[in-house]
C-alpha cells in the first residue's frame, strides 16, 4: 500500500511564497499593509471591548499613521504642491512645452 505524505517541506513553502510574490509584483507591499491594518483594527476593537488601554492607545497611534499615509498618497496622485509622479530631477524640462522654434534649432 502507498502511504500519502501530507507534510510540506520548507523548500516547497519557499517556492510557493516566491511564486505568490512574483505574481503580485509591486503590489505585495500594499497588500501586506492592508493585512496589517486589518489586524490592528481587530486588536483595537478587542481593546475597546475588553477595556485594555494599551490596545486602544496602539490603535489610536496606528490610526494617525494610517490617515497621514492616506493623505500623502491622495496629495501625491493629485500632484499637490511639489509632489509629482514625474521626477523633475530626471526630466528637468518635462513641465515646459516644446515650441516649434525649439524643434527647428
Q: How confident is the model over 10-57, as pLDDT tens digits?
A: 777 788 877 777 777 777 778 888 889 999 999 999 999 998 898 899
pLDDT at position 90, please?
Answer: 57
The tens digit of pLDDT for each residue in 74-84 reads 888 888 888 77
8: left (phi over 0), alpha (psi -120 to 50) or beta: beta
Which residues are within 8 A (CB) of 31 and not within 5 positions of it... i.e. 6 or more apart? 24
CB 39 within 8 A of CB 62: no
Amino acid at each position: 500500500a502507498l502511504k500519502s505524505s501530507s507534510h510540506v517541506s520548507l523548500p516547497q513553502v519557499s517556492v510557493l511564497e516566491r511564486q505568490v510574490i512574483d505574481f503580485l509584483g509591486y503590489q505585495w507591499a500594499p497588500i501586506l499593509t492592508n493585512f496589517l491594518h486589518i489586524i490592528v483594527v481587530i486588536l483595537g476593537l478587542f481593546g475597546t471591548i475588553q477595556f485594555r488601554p494599551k490596545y486602544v492607545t496602539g490603535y489610536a497611534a496606528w490610526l494617525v499613521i494610517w490617515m497621514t499615509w492616506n493623505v500623502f498618497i491622495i496629495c501625491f496622485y493629485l500632484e499637490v504642491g511639489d509632489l509629482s509622479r514625474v521626477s523633475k530631477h530626471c526630466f528637468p524640462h518635462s513641465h515646459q512645452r516644446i515650441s516649434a522654434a525649439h524643434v527647428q534649432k
